[in-house]
Amino acid sequence: MSQPTPFNSHFWKARLDSLFAVLVFGGVVWWLFDAYQAFGDENQQYAKGVCCGFTDALFDATLKLERGESVDFSKGYASYLGAEWWRWWNRQPSALLWLSQVSHLLTGIVVFAWGQFRKRPLVGLLGGVAVLLTPISVYASLRWDVYALQGPLIVLAWMLVSSSKGFTAIVPTIGFAGIVWVSAFWSFRETDNLILLLTHAALAFGTWISVLISGKDHNEQSVHRGWSAVIAIGTCAVLLWQIALFWRFSSPEGMAYYFREADNPMIESTITLNASLRWFGYWGYFYWRAFGPALTIAIGTAVISLMLRKRLSWGLFLGVLIPYLALSWISKRNFYYPSSLWVLLPLILGEGVHSVDELSFRRVFCVLGLGVSMWTFQQRLDKVELVGDDQYGGLFQTSDGHLSLEPTRFWGVEELSTTVQEYLPEHDCTKERIVVLEANAMIEEVALRLGQEHPCIQLKRQLHNREQRVLDTVQIWVIDPNHTRISTDFLTQQGLVFQTEVLMDNRFRLELWSR
């Protein structure tokens, strides 16, 4: 008869850690989900992106899907994912933010599950919680843009390359190649894809070099160096060939874009990039705003601890270092360029637990990390003041909106959307129909609301092509009388009739003309 397992055995300690991890992680997911619900109850801003908005590509993909046209990757896979998701939820305006939030939650859940699978529940717990509660990542998940959507790709790439045994394990290697392929066409903005591809390459390169030097994989198992070198180089060559063959840039500039815009005197930075700002500007931004001082210090402590104990994952380390150095070297700066590091740096914090041998200290380290992550997130919910934009406004060409997690309410958008819809013909995807909404009409927000009933309507800020065949497709033209270049005589000549005025933002009135 077998003896009962002592309570203090390794088996029961592991079970207790797993149970603790499940309970805490489940509580954090619920907390974040509750914050999302509170945000959604008040928020009316659905189209704003982290960068430059992500709605145009979505509407293009939706139009093709509604008309049954062939789908390709010219507008990015993420746009088509968003279009399918939007259609699934009957094109509710807020549904796009739900997809961003689901993607963010999925990123943390995958990290947590990976820790459980590796039988390192505390590593997965801390890494997953840190990913979920990093302020800049939460900020991205409250916007419709590619940055929250790319989180699962980054985590999956890290998992697959870690499991590939230096690319000698065929299934993980093929999986990683698939992730790289999707990432190459993920966004309709080629700059997003370039940074994401660089991150994948850095993760793979760091892991591969570590295997070649040590002859062992992530789990300390022996690897045949020769096969690792041959298969990794072959995989890289095939991927580069395929991507170069099929890549369709949304602009022909590619990498030159970063330098061209930075060298444009019309948008020249107000801050001179001295050596300190060039190499530490992004890190300063992480410290003061994106992560906050406490979380940044915790991540730095984890890196030092892993290095001292020689347990640092060189894949993760170079996955952070190489993109950071590349972005620090180029002259164009924006706070969202290091978006892949928003995921990788919290992962390093989680891996820091693995550097602690003594179980009791490992638990203490984990609890401290959890406390820092939760406290940092709670500060943002409590609207704790951050370093102002004047510190970074000249360094970064795009503002982060003070990393606000507060909902935004609009005055006039709902009324304008409802009014426009009253004058639109019935839903018909076989005909070209255009609605012109001039600048102050908040076109992206109106478009998301109109799309629920009229997904095939094309909305434009200006009508550059005024050939008669194009003008005949205009159903509605909304003008700002104080700033328009279009005369009312011109609108009358086109058969458009003034219908009504709509008060926007409680400050100015727009005129709605329709056929």
Can you name the residues that pair with 501 across neighbouring β-strands?
511
How close are the terminal C-alpha atoms of the chain, in Å? Answer: 89
Q: How confident is the model at residue 1 (pLDDT cuts 50, 70, 90)?
A: very low
What is the per-residue pLDDT for 498? Answer: 93
Q: Say which range, 117-131, 362-376, 417-431, 446-460, has the weakest mean pLDDT.
A: 417-431
Phi, psi (5° rounding) for residue 256?
-60, -20
Residue where the block lists tokens 């062992």: 216
What is the per-residue pLDDT for 402? Answer: 76
What is the average pLDDT across 125-133? 96
Note the pLDDT tens digit of each residue in 261-280: 555 544 455 566 677 777 88
The identity of residue 160, as a single letter, is L
What is the per-residue pLDDT for 132? Answer: 97
Note the pLDDT tens digit of each residue in 163-221: 888 888 889 989 998 999 999 899 988 889 889 998 998 998 888 888 877 766 666 66
Note the pLDDT tens digit of each residue in 337-354: 999 999 999 999 998 888
What is the average pLDDT across 373-383? 91
What is the average pLDDT across 354-372? 87
Can you name the residues that pair with 503 across neighbouring β-strands?
509
Q: How far is CA 302 from the centre of its chain?
A: 25
> For residue 432, is pLDDT > 90?
no
Residue where the block lists tokens 């390794």: 10
Q: Say which range, 49-58, 216-225, 449-458, has the weakest mean pLDDT.
A: 216-225
What token pair was written down for 298? 């915790």
Alpha helices in 43-150 (DSSP H): 55-67, 77-88, 95-117, 121-133, 135-141, 146-149
> For residue 239, is pLDDT > 70?
yes
Give dist(CA 510, CA 297) in Å, integer. Answer: 50
> For residue 394, is pLDDT > 70?
no
Note the pLDDT tens digit of each residue in 302-339: 998 888 888 888 889 999 999 999 898 887 788 999 99
What is the per-residue pLDDT for 13? Answer: 63
Containing H/E element for 282?
helix 275-285
Note the pLDDT tens digit of each residue in 27-44: 999 999 999 999 999 999
Residue where the block lists tokens 């994989």: 217
What is the per-residue pLDDT for 156? Answer: 96
Q: Say which range, 56-60, 70-74, 189-193, 365-369, has the weakest mean pLDDT.
A: 70-74
Phi, psi (5° rounding) for residue 509?
-115, 140
Q: How confident is the model at residue 250 (pLDDT cuts 50, 70, 90)?
A: low
What is the per-residue pLDDT for 298? Answer: 94
Of 474, 482, 466, the residue nearest 436 (C-alpha): 474
Provide the 10 A C-beta neighbour count for residue 308.
Answer: 10
Q: What is the mean pLDDT of the chain?
A: 85
What is the per-residue pLDDT for 87? Answer: 93
> For residue 255, is pLDDT > 80?
no
Q: How confident is the model at residue 18 (pLDDT cuts 50, 70, 90)?
A: confident
Phi, psi (5° rounding) for residue 434?
-120, 140
Find the length of the chain: 515
